[in-house]
Structure 1
Amino acid sequence: MNYFSSNFKLGILGGGQLGKMLLYNTRKFDIQTNVMDASPEAPSKLACNNFTLGDLMDYDAVFNFGKQVDVLTIEIENVNVDALEALEKKGIQVYPAAKTLRTIQNKAKQKLFYVDNNIPTAPFTRFAYTSEIKEAINHGGLTLPFVWKSAQFGYDGQGVKIVKTLDDLQNLPNVECIAETLVPFKNELAVIVARSANGDVKSYPVVEMEFHPEANQVEYVICPARIDDNVAKKAKDIALKVSEAFNHVGLLAVEMFQTENDDILVNEVAPRPHNSGHQTIEASYTSQFEQHIRAILNLPLGRTDSKVGGVMVNLVGAEGFTGNVVYQNIETIMQMDGVTPHIYGKKETRPFRKMGHVTIVNENLNEARRVAEEVKKSIKVISE
């Protein structure tokens, strides 16, 4: 099939920043794109060929949108899977497949998938409702502390809480959930695996993620991870095993814990471009976004090694500010060597909302991390 400068149409469900960065590459290749999102102010709106306003969880909206394209992909997991299955039956190529997405959408099903496929993961207990947890603790079936995770619709730090006392259960939504053993770990790691429709597979270097303690969001991504080679190999091998088990097409970001004993436990996965791969735009031979396009269109996969060390800093809305966004001191960080800001195009900021990211590249990774700290201290995402 001729994808370039042709009538071929690629559909993207979701018009957020990940979609916008995918569109950098469809524009580069002159591939026609249709995007659907629920927000009329979606960041992807200006960069696609055709924009559709629609609810990603609405069956009719997703089905009718999907009928208009040749290949359909996602930039967010929360989409109507029943509609995707119906589109597959009509011959539309959907990546990731509806079956894969149905498992990944639900954290309880995802964890059971790891157990069934002998993939190392933290021990957990599944609950139909959060209200059942207190009884399990009282009867000795569950011990504190643990990590509570909503089975569905958790995103960007939402739907996750460390429960140390019974009081921590207060105000949690009464939904299907899991209680996961709180694992002592040295590092949170991630590996992005690309798999094309014909089965070609490539993986990116292991990255190290530093999280904001309050928002439970990634604050820094460091590539390559500052870990021993044998640990990096173990993490990459497990990520490839997860990818093979899902047999996905496109990207699969595998988030993992490196325990105190240097074991690797899979935390969760995302079947799309991911926050842990943003530094690939500047630091890698092939960005994660271009690689996703290559994979779902069955084109040759690009090189995944890094040209240079890279650190990514998330730009999130500052606490205490809501309203029209202002990026304070952005000129200051642009004066720093190797610094590239990416602004997502969201007009309104609120506390901890992802508004952009900054990539720092340097042959010396420690220097890149130092500059990243300076960037974090300098730029502020506030409101008018």
Structure 2
Amino acid sequence: MKIGILGGGQLGRMLLQAAFNYPVELHVLDPDPQAPCAAATPYFKTGSLQDEATVYAFGKQVEVLTIEIENVNVAALKRLQAEGVKVYPQPHVIETIQDKRLQKQFFVQHQIPTAPFVLIDHPSDLHKHANFLPAFMKVGKGGYDGRGVLPLHSPADFAQAFQAPSLLEKAADIHKEISVIVARNEAGEVRAFPPVEMVFDPQLNLVDYLLSPAQLTEEQAAEAQSIACRLIEALDMVGILAVEMFLNRDGSLWVNEVAPRPHNSGHHTIEANYTSQYEQHLRAITNMPLGCTDSRCAAAMVNLLGEAGHYGAVYYRGLKRALARKGVYVHLYGKAETKPGRKMGHVTLIDDDPDSLQANIRYIKEVLKVESRAAVSGNPQE
């Protein structure tokens, strides 16, 4: 079966790795000729993901078309779907999730718990909602990895407001941020992974590390999985969906945002679960039985981000020291150049002892650094 992936980043690379065990041929389209997928498949093509003609021509060569990034041309996907190409997730799902305004309205229409919000068509609208503060202004389209989110504490912050259609979301009283990965195949079978707990870098607004399973009560974990299952069924979606949620201090769960593709919060599943999120996505879009989502053991995942002040050809300082540690699995994404905050890889840590797991998280964060070749002296792998 010929499967096309729109996007050739690290998520596509790990999807390719999972596909090696199946009778499928994966083709990849990405605008960057040096994308992580470029060296991983002979069926890599360079081209724009936003150009309708390019996406359409690429999709006509495959039987199933999927994504590893949401910012793609939906008009081309609709044409392909109408002409018999299986597009998963479906174009209507991608279109809804591309726009946070539509996404939030969908949650309300389908009784999915989420933070109270108001739509902002123009920055001047903010003054009508001064009593809604503190809140977060989120741009409707184009935001990712913390970009396109602006905290508003008082009307004095309105001067920094986005000039594009946005939404104003009530600040949650967050106890923990969690994520549930859920999958659904063509036959309608649905399976959710155990919730994970995400700890964010306060400066970069990216996941610093995550813990699996999340430290929740059985009731909270079951409710989070139930919400994720209800959401993927409401979307009538085929594929894998990452559902990020707030666990508030009053015990309530609110869906924050969703991503209709493999996700940073599911990387640990490669080593820590019976089925990885990548294999599960392949099973879903090819209508195979979904795999067991149970955890094999407790785990953590640490993101490897480019160090501040480092640009250019990449060096991994401390790689040998990291690999010498028991239960450490290093995944590097094959990106030739680093810059501050860029996702360059991740490390999965396996350990059933919570104290030992936390010690290993601290160890990896201390010894393994993503630096630039020009700024490094000595052996970066020491």
Asked if TM exceeds 0.5, the reply is yes
Aligned counterpart in structure 1 of residue 301 of structure 2, from 312, 315, 318: 312
8 Å Cα contact 1:12-1:35 kept in structure 2 = yes
In the superposition, relative to structure 1, how do residues 241 and 366 fare at CA in structure 2: closer, same or farther (>3 Å)? Answer: farther
Match of 2:81 in 1: 88
* CA positional deviation for 1:167: 4.4
Aligned counterpart in structure 2 of residue 349 of structure 1, from 329, 338, 341: 338
Aligned counterpart in structure 2 of residue 15 of structure 1, from 5, 8, 23: 8
Aligned counterpart in structure 2 of residue 202 of structure 1, from 191, 195, 213: 191
8 Å Cα contact 1:222-1:369 kept in structure 2 = no
8 Å Cα contact 2:121-2:166 kept in structure 1 = yes
* CA positional deviation for 1:192: 0.6
**Using the alignment, how far apart are the partners of 1:57 and 1:195 within structure 2?**
26
**Using the alignment, how far apart are the partners of 1:373 and 1:245 within structure 2?**
40
Match of 2:380 in 1: none
Q: CA RMSD in A?
A: 1.2
In the superposition, relative to structure 1, how do residues 169 and 324 fare at CA in structure 2: closer, same or farther (>3 Å)? Answer: farther
Alignment of 1:44 with 2:33, yes or no, is no
The amino acid that maps onto 2:196 is V
Stretches of structure 1 lacking an aligned partner (at least 5 in a row): 1-7
**Using the alignment, how far apart are the partners of 2:117 and 2:262 within structure 1?**
27
CA deviations 1:259-300 (Å, max 9, x no partner) are 111101010111110011000001011100001001100011
Q: Give aligned pairs, total.
A: 373
Secondary structure in 2 matching 1:231: helix
**Using the alignment, how far apart are the partners of 2:358 and 2:218 within structure 1?**
20
**Using the alignment, how far apart are the partners of 1:135 and 1:261 within structure 2?**
29
**Using the alignment, how far apart are the partners of 1:182 and 1:133 within structure 2?**
18
* CA positional deviation for 1:133: 4.1
Secondary structure in 1 matching 2:133: coil
Alignment of 1:110 with 2:103, yes or no, is yes
Aligned counterpart in structure 1 of residue 128 of structure 2, from 113, 117, 136: 136
**Paired residues for 1:1-384 under 5 Å:** 8-129=1-122, 131-137=123-129, 140=130, 142-384=131-373
Secondary structure in 2 matching 1:189: strand
Secondary structure in 1 matching 2:21: helix
8 Å Cα contact 1:32-1:48 kept in structure 2 = no
Which shifted more, 365-374 or 55-64? 365-374
Dislocated runs of 4+, deviation >4 Å: none
Secondary structure in 1 matching 2:18: helix
CA deviations 1:29-78 (Å, max 9, x no partner) are 24211100010111011112311111111111111110110000000001
Which shifted more, 187-196 or 164-173? 164-173
Stretches of structure 2 lacking an aligned partner (at least 5 in a row): 374-382
**Using the alignment, how far apart are the partners of 1:41 and 1:170 within structure 2?**
39
**Using the alignment, how far apart are the partners of 1:357 and 1:342 within structure 2?**
5
8 Å Cα contact 1:310-1:365 kept in structure 2 = no
